[in-house]
Amino acid sequence: MSKKEMLLYGFMILFLVTGLIVTISKTPKKIQAQNAKQQETQATPIPTPTVSENLVPAPVPVPVENKKIETPAVKNKVSSSVETQSVKDYFSAAGVMSLDGKDDSKQYSDKDIFSATKGLTVSAWINPATLQFAKSEGTGYVHWLGKGKSGAQEWIFRMYNKENSENRPNRISFYVFNKEGGWGIGSYFQDAIKVGQWIHVVGKVDGKKTYIYKNGALRDNDVYSPEIKITNCGAPLSIGSRDKKSFFEGKIANVRVYNRALSGSEITAIYNVEKSNFS
Ligand SMILES: [Ca+2]
Ligand SMILES: [Ca+2]
């Protein structure tokens, strides 16, 4: 090998080694830069679901067709904010509604999940401000939650006045109807009621019977089928009234509608989860 060749090889080796060093020294920077970019992407804030200040998440007592649904509970005892949630098999209006007993009510457009064609469970808390309602109807009662209007009747909750012409002092009941109305069939409890006391009420149908629960306990059940056939009609879900012929005075909270008949233990679980907010 000539001197000239040796010099040439020497330069070539130096060139390769320098290139290798440069490549090695650059490589970590490139990786770091990529990592930084990835971290930036990961660090992008994910929008958090907005929840009203008055609502706090609560444990989930009721699985709906293998899906678990977050059930927001009410933190403050008095609030006018109502958070609604509606999925395929479940609806809730969580929060406290204050109702003046004169003309206050709230309607939610008709949905299939409000109808008891398979089964239905409706859960709510009520707190009457009077035992004798100013705007009552019929023999002396108010409809405080229900789905029905003339020619499109389905189901209702009723609370009787302390004085009424059927001698049903403050009876709280849940009835189902044929769509034409007329006589309904349902279940009730009739206890001494105190003004300002929260009561948890659940009405349920399973295709054969109506059920009513008070504070997580089954109180009554009655066979309605085949006399009554509940039809999926077009009336809205109404809270505080049914069709504005009578109005509940007081508070109604956490109205939940499940498009199936919940088990007794599921109903007790709802009561147990929610009761600390309504004591
Ligand atoms: Ca009964
Ligand atoms: Ca309907």
The 3-class secondary structure across 26-43, one letter per residue, is: HHHHHHHHHHHHHHHHHH
Q: How far apart are CA 275 and CA 20, in angstroms?
A: 72
Question: How many Å lie between the centroid of ligand 2 and the Cα of residue 17?
Answer: 80
Percent of the chain whose predicted confidence (pLDDT) is above 70: 71
- The pLDDT of 58-68, averaged and rounded, is 33
Question: How many Å lie between the centroid of ligand 2 and the Cα of residue 235?
Answer: 7
DSSP-H helix ranges across the chain: 3-43, 264-274
Ligand nearest to the CA of 237: 2
3-state secondary structure of 166: coil
Q: What is the pLDDT of residue 272?
A: 94
pLDDT at 119 over 80: yes
pLDDT tens, position by position, 2-39: 666 766 666 665 555 555 444 444 444 443 433 333 33
Among candidate residues 172, 164, 167, 217, the one with its CA nearest the CA of residue 193: 172
Q: What is the pTM of this model?
A: 0.73
Q: What is the pLDDT of residue 178?
A: 96
Ligand nearest to the CA of 224: 1
- 8 Å CB contact between 154 and 190: no
Q: What is the pLDDT of residue 118?
A: 83
Question: How many Å lie between the centroid of ligand 1 and the Cα of residue 210?
Answer: 8
pLDDT at 142 over 80: yes
Query: The tokens 């049903």 sit on which residue?
Result: 168
Q: What is the pLDDT of residue 70?
A: 38
Strand order in the sheet with 90-100: 82-87, 90-100, 249-258, 120-128, 199-205, 209-214, 217-223
- 8 Å CB contact between 15 and 9: no
Q: How many residues does the chain have?
A: 279
Architecture in CATH for domain 55-278:
Sandwich (2.60)
Ligand nearest to the CA of 185: 1
- The pLDDT of 184-198, averaged and rounded, is 97
- The pLDDT of 106-134, averaged and rounded, is 96
Q: What are phi and psi of 92, to 5 degrees?
A: -145, 145
Q: What is the pLDDT of residue 201?
A: 98
Ligand nearest to the CA of 212: 1
Q: What is the pLDDT of residue 12?
A: 63
Q: What is the pLDDT of residue 82?
A: 73
Q: What is the pLDDT of residue 11?
A: 62
DSSP secondary structure letters along 43-77 = HSPPPPPP--TTEEEE----EETTEE--EEEESSS
Ligand nearest to the CA of 210: 1
Ligand nearest to the CA of 179: 2
Q: Per mean pLDDT, which range of 49-63, 116-130, 215-229, 244-258 is the poorest?
A: 49-63
Average predicted confidence (pLDDT) for the chain:
80
Question: How many Å lie between the centroid of ligand 1 and the Cα of residue 211?
Answer: 8
Q: What is the pLDDT of residue 18?
A: 52
